Amino acid sequence: MRIFLDTADIEEIREVARWGILSGVTTNPTLMSRTSGMSHEDVIKHIADLVDGPISAETISLDADGMLDEGRRFAKWHPNVVIKVPSIPAGWEAVSRFKKEGIRTNVTLCFSANQALFAALAGAYIISPFLGRLDDISEDGMQLVRDIVDIYRIHEMETLVLAASIRHPLHIIEAAKAGADIATVPYKVLEAATKHPLTDKGIDSFLKDWEKFQGSQRQPAAVAG
Ligand code: G3P
């Protein structure tokens, strides 16, 4: 399973890109609204300089022609740009038209296996089930991820399953076990997932023991007898 960062924050992306684990980035209008001073184009181009992988840029039109206009413009910014459209009939229409033009799509706001099936039939590159938002309303978000993975495997569909709306580190593990191709993770969740108290405790005691060892090397050897 590949890890994407779910953010438009350049500093967060710069840091995680250094870790060597980052394969792509997803953005959306909410994440863009948290950036300041840069245009949509500048943010996406800046991300493309930092990460060599798919970068999702979201359209806001609700009709296929509008999505096509926006998406064609975004696709010119960088070859790694993937166009995000919502899970509605106009979105699937846009996906099928983008595909004919060789433009990759990420169908977002997916909350049902039927929506995922239709996105794959239309030719989506990525489907994004929002598992955290389903958990928020007492539905089982991870079960949706499992169902989509099963359906795509049974019917040999090539669309990649991207677990989105990840809320905590266990979601990453569960998405990997469910067979998701990608998990897109907010920086805070990814940072929390890096930590383990036993790792910190182990480093601390190794450093103290190394100091002891260095000290013993500086003492003259005791003369026996
Ligand atoms: O990529 C968008 C998706 O991950 C949204 O997450 O936390 O707003 O439900 P959230």
Give the pLDDT band of residue 222 (cuts 50, 70, 90).
low
Using the predicted structure, report yes or no on whether residue 32 has a pLDDT greater than 90: yes
Q: Which residues of 7-28 are buried (b: 16+ CB within 10 A; e: fewer)?
A: bbbbebbebbbeeeebebbbbb
Instruction: Tell me the β-bridge partners of 25.
Output: 5, 55
Q: Which atom of ligand 1 lies nearest, measured to the CA of 164?
A: 4
| Residue 84 designated active-site | yes
pLDDT digits (tens, 9 = 90+) for 54-110: 999 999 999 999 999 999 999 999 999 999 999 999 999 999 999 999 999 999 999
DSSP per-residue string spanning 48-86: HHH--S-EEEE---SSHHHHHHHHHHHHTT-TTEEEEEE
pLDDT digits (tens, 9 = 90+) for 127-140: 999 999 999 999 99
Contact 19, 198 (CB under 8 A): no
Cα(203)–Cα(54) distance, rounded to whole angstroms? 35
pLDDT of residue 64: 98
pLDDT of residue 169: 98
Q: Taking CB atoms and a 6 Å cutoff, what residues make up the pocket around ligand 1?
A: 6, 26, 28, 130, 132-133, 164-165, 184
Q: What percent of the chain has pLDDT over 90?
A: 94
- Distance in Å, CA 102 to ligand 1 centroid: 26
Mean pLDDT of the chain: 96
Tokens found for residue 34: 């948290």
Nearest residue by C-alpha to atom 8 in ligand 1: 165
- pTM for this predicted structure: 0.94
Q: Which atom of ligand 1 lies nearest, measured to the CA of 56?
A: 1
Contact 6, 164 (CB under 8 A): yes
Q: Which atom of ligand 1 lies nearest, measured to the CA of 6?
A: 1
User: Which of 84, 100, 195, 208 is an active site residue?
Assistant: 84
Nearest residue by C-alpha to atom 4 in ligand 1: 165
Average pLDDT estimate for 136-165: 98
Closest CA to 81 of 64, 98, 96: 98
Using the predicted structure, report yes or no on whether residue 220 has a pLDDT greater than 70: no
Nearest residue by C-alpha to atom 5 in ligand 1: 165
Give the pLDDT band of residue 37 (cuts 50, 70, 90).
confident
Q: What's the Cα-to-Cα distance from 215 to each of 99, 132, 204, 219, rounded to whole Å?
A: 66, 52, 17, 7
